Structure 1
Amino acid sequence: MAKKAVRKTSGKKKKASKAKPNVVMRIRRWVTRGLLAIATFVVALIALYSVVNPPVTHTIWTEWRRLGKVERDWVPIEQISPIMARSVVAAEDANFCRHWGFDVEAIRDAIEGGGARGASTITQQVVKNVFLWQGRSWVRKALETSMTPVVEIFWSKQRILEIYLNVAETGNGVFGVEAAAQRNFNVPASKLSSVQAARIAAILPSPRNRSVTDPSVRTRRRAAAILDGAATIRADGRADCFED
């Protein structure tokens, strides 16, 4: 009897030990399937937005909840003054046409500067604005880093810049350069002058704390530098990827 009891106990242990690996394998299988499904959905969404305009972003929705309304008028890049596009590139990502989502030189400079200056490209900012959320976290940065090359594969440089010009925050509750042009200068984005475009680009790092119509000395200096930068990237070919 004792031997039979020992055999039964050992048999149960063997079954239990076999069951544990099966459960682990099932969990791994479901996790893998879940991750693949999420990745497939994200890639499909990126591909869709190459031809369809993003209806809303997390930041726009958050600001709408906070303020009760937002100003945003989507316009195609053909209806945006070329100097506005060049000014944004000069201000935010001068090597936009020469990289595939990451500016290695800017990253190196940021590291050497102790992280005091940013190194995010326009593509990275578009990924953050359209698909993710604001704020700093390793999770968001990891997602941004993984999605940026996919966006560069599916979207043209002109499309990336077009979306950026329409979703970037350009004031308190204001999104896109068309809404900024209308609010600050009472003109459409297609009619912006070089100075007006440079001033809008100059407030992009901190649109809620800087004024387009009453710029500080620092903002005026930055706008002047952006004007020079816009002329430079046009002359040396760094605007060719988004200009016809």
Structure 2
Amino acid sequence: MANRSRTRSRRFLKLAGKILLYFILFSVLWVLLYRIVPPPVTATMILDGNGITKDWTPLSKIDPDMARAAIAAEDSKFCSHHGFDAEAIEHAMLRNLRGGKIRGGSTISQQTAKNAFLWQGGGFFRKGLEAWFTVLIETLWPKYRIMEVYLNIAETGIGTYGVQAGAMRYFHHGASQLSPNEAARIAAVLPLPKKRAAIAPSGFTRRYGNSIARRIGVVRRQGLDACLK
């Protein structure tokens, strides 16, 4: 009986090792592919019952203030961290312990990893995969590519993905023509795209957008977007 048990254990460990190895190889190849090829579709898009409106646009064709607005709103340390913001994670954990609403724990890199390769929602398993894919894109992609993918697959409205589609939806012109205020409004929508609108915003969305617009200048002056140049 003991020998059978050891044999089963060895077989299980061997099988688990193969599965892990295949997953690592597959995920690395997947990330390398998306370094060159625009993600054709994501799990979030597939599961969206409102249809999909998107238009991939190179970062060079997106007004620089859009990336600055994303950095100002989502991740001021984007150019200096390696995928994770320890301080933001610590603050999020403290807020969670106090029963407060967690904000600002995820970096742009983490959000890109989640949006491109995974699905929405929480859970330790999905968070673990998110951390793995974050490490991969930070290792295998330049920061420029991370921002490019983020701005093209992030949900910017109901059934709307990417800042090009968002700009056309809200302002009737392309992302290359975004003003600082328009870029800030789109950035203000990103956390809750199904509940906020960038056009004629009111209440918190308007105040938040105005705050982001002011911080765009800070990002520019302090070179917080230097890794994108």
TM-score range, shorter chain: over 0.9
Distance in 2 between residues matched to 1:76 and 1:98, nearest whole Å: 22
How many residue pairs end up in the alignment? 225
Q: How does 1:89-100 map to 2 (within 5 A)?
A: 89-100=71-82
Please say if 1:180 is aligned against 2:150: no
Identify the match of residue 30 of structure 2 among 45, 51, 63.
45
Aligned twin of 2:53:
71
Identify the match of residue 95 of structure 2 among 103, 106, 113.
113
The DSSP-based 3-state class of the residue aligned with 2:227 is coil
Aligned twin of 2:120:
134
Aligned twin of 1:219:
205
Larger deviation: 86-95 or 165-174?
86-95
The amino acid that maps onto 1:217 is: G
Please say if 1:33 is aligned against 2:15: no
Aligned twin of 1:125:
111
The amino acid that maps onto 2:83 is: G
Distance in 1 between residues matched to 2:89 and 2:12, nearest whole Å: 39
Distance in 1 between residues matched to 2:169 and 2:21, nearest whole Å: 44
Deviation at 1:182, TM superposition (A): 0.7
The amino acid that maps onto 2:33 is: L
Cα RMSD for the two superposed structures: 1.2
Deviation at 1:150, TM superposition (A): 1.5
The DSSP-based 3-state class of the residue aligned with 1:200 is helix
Q: Unpaired segments of 5 or more residues in structure 2?
A: none
Distance in 1 between residues matched to 2:146 and 2:227, nearest whole Å: 11
Distance in 1 between residues matched to 2:77 and 2:13, nearest whole Å: 42
Q: Unpaired segments of 5 or more residues in structure 1?
A: 1-15
Distance in 2 between residues matched to 1:118 and 1:241, nearest whole Å: 21
Equivalent pair of 2:35/2:145 in contact (CA under 8 Å)? yes
Identify the match of residue 64 of structure 2 among 69, 77, 82.
82
Larger deviation: 116-125 or 20-29?
20-29
